[in-house]
């Protein structure tokens, strides 16, 4: 294959096609019509002398040649984008772009909303989208430039992303102010285990979590009465019942006026919250600015 025959835009299209394995979805991501992308796919097949993507019942499946191209193609595009970015300084007062951040609602509450609240001051024409982690394609979306930052626990961030610690998180119990246990400055184990509990799990269908692991190590159990998929409903549910929730401490602090906060009756392992970013964004001045601001708002007392 001669490089002179290859339009570099075709490689960008191939990268997205390999990520989506669907011409319609890939065309939407690229801002192209489906016929235009189909024509590009035909050109790519001619250039590489390979079908690259073969139709199946739902979507398409990559050939062996296409699978071999996937990783080096991503790396090459990331390097080219980095070279262009290094030559383009970022002026937040003049910039007009959208930053996209993925995190749980608890971490968004602790970090991303602080950034969003001051964005108009720092970069008046820029916008930010705070997205939920939905699994599966997050890394591919970062590689494609559709997500800028992934905020999560250290163990949840893929090792092939760059990462920087933001803060250490612990757990706090929350309940209504007139809850029968609110009179205890420190919850005793018997009362804690006898109470009804709320658990937040990603699926909203989980009834066992890190608190239960800590209790099990002590030969204890609790009863989780309600499972939620996010933290949004915790204050209203706990505030109207005798249920207790054990939540990240930064989130609990935000609810301190409406709910009573108490330390749990046993040690519950905390976790480190980090931000992760793809190699393609590592040298980009706008992304460096974003990461510096996120680190700043995540610090204590900000």
pLDDT tier at 75 (50, 70, 90 boundaries)?
confident
My answer on whether 225 and 146 are in the same domain is no
pLDDT in tens, 221-280: 999 999 999 999 999 999 999 999 999 999 999 999 999 999 999 999 999 999 999 988
Q: How high is the pLDDT of residue 299?
A: 83
Which long-range contacts link 180-183 to residues 24+ away (Cβ below 8 Å)?
180/242, 181/244, 181/262, 182/260, 182/262
My answer on whether 154 and 277 are in the same domain is yes
Domain with 292, as residue range(s), is 98-165+272-298
Among 42, 60, 86, the domain boundary falls at 86
pLDDT in tens, 83-136: 666 656 889 999 999 999 999 999 999 999 999 999 999 999 999 999 998 766
The set of residues, in sequence order, having a beta carbon less than 8 Å from that of 289 and lying 6+ positions away, is: 90, 92
pLDDT tier at 301 (50, 70, 90 boundaries)?
very low
pLDDT in tens, 11-48: 889 988 998 899 998 898 888 899 999 999 999 998 88
What total of structural domains would you count in the chain?
3
Task: Give a yes or no: residue 191 inside a domain.
Answer: yes
My answer on whether 121 and 203 are in the same domain is no
Q: How high is the pLDDT of residue 283?
A: 83
Task: Give a yes or no: residue 118 inside a domain.
Answer: yes
For the domain that residue 56 is a member of, what is the CATH number?
1.10.10.10
Task: Give a yes or no: residue 93 inside a domain.
Answer: no
Choice between 279 and 207, residue whose per-residue pLDDT is larger: 207
pLDDT tier at 147 (50, 70, 90 boundaries)?
very high
Which range, 2-6, 24-28, 64-68, 288-292, is most confident? Answer: 288-292
Q: How high is the pLDDT of residue 138?
A: 86
Ranking 144-148, 209-213, 258-262 by mean pLDDT, the lowest is: 144-148
pLDDT in tens, 127-140: 999 999 876 678 88
Q: Decide if pLDDT at 166 tops 70.
A: yes
**What percent of the chain stands above pLDDT 70?**
94
Q: Decide if pLDDT at 1 tops 70.
A: no
For the domain that residue 263 is a member of, what is the CATH number?
3.40.190.10
Q: How high is the pLDDT of residue 87?
A: 59
Task: Give a yes or no: residue 91 inside a domain.
Answer: no
- Average pLDDT taken over every residue of the chain: 90
The set of residues, in sequence order, having a beta carbon less than 8 Å from that of 173 and lying 6+ positions away, is: 187, 192, 244, 245, 246, 252, 261, 262, 263, 264
Task: Give a yes or no: residue 92 inside a domain.
Answer: no
My answer on whether 265 and 276 are in the same domain is no
My answer on whether 81 and 220 are in the same domain is no
Among 61, 86, 111, the domain boundary falls at 86
Alpha helices in 210-256 (DSSP H): 210-217, 234-239, 249-254
Q: How high is the pLDDT of residue 86?
A: 60
Q: Decide if pLDDT at 184 tops 50.
A: yes
Task: Give a yes or no: residue 209 inside a domain.
Answer: yes
Average pLDDT over residues 54-68: 89
My answer on whether 138 and 283 are in the same domain is yes
Q: How high is the pLDDT of residue 129?
A: 97
What would the DSSP string read from start to end of 100-167? Answer: EEEE-HHHIIIIIHHHHHHHHHH-TT-EEEEEE--SSSHHHHHHTTS--EEEEEGGGS-TTSEEEEEE
């Amino acid at each position: 294959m001669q490089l002179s025959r290859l339009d570099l835009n075709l490689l960008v299209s191939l990268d997205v096609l390999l990520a989506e394995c669907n011409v319609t979805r890939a065309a939407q991501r690229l801002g192209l019509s489906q016929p235009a992308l189909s024509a590009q796919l035909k050109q790519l097949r001619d250039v590489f002398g390979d079908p690259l993507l073969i139709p199946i019942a739902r979507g398409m499946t990559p050939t062996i040649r296409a699978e071999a191209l996937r990783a080096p193609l991503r790396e090459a595009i990331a390097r080219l984008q980095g070279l262009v970015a290094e030559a383009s300084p970022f002026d937040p007062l003049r910039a007009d772009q959208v930053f996209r951040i993925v995190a749980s609602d608890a971490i968004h509450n602790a970090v991303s909303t602080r950034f969003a609240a001051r964005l108009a001051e720092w970069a008046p024409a820029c916008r930010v989208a705070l997205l939920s982690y939905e699994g599966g394609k997050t890394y591919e979306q970062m590689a494609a430039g559709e997500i800028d930052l992934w905020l999560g626990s250290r163990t949840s961030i893929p090792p092939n992303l760059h990462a920087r610690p933001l803060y250490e998180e612990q757990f706090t119990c929350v309940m209504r102010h007139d809850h029968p246990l609110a009179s205890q400055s420190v919850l005793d184990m018997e009362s804690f285990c006898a109470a009804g509990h709320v658990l937040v799990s990603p699926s909203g269908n989980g009834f066992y979590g890190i608190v239960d692991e800590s209790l099990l190590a002590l030969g204890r159990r609790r009863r989780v009465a309600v499972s939620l998929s996010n933290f949004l409903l915790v204050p209203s549910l706990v505030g109207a019942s005798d249920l207790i929730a054990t939540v990240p401490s930064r989130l609990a602090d935000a609810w301190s006026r409406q709910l009573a906060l108490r330390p749990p009756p046993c040690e519950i392992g905390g976790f480190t919250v980090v931000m992760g970013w793809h190699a393609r964004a590592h040298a980009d001045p706008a992304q460096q600015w974003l990461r510096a601001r996120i680190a700043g708002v995540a610090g204590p007392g900000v």
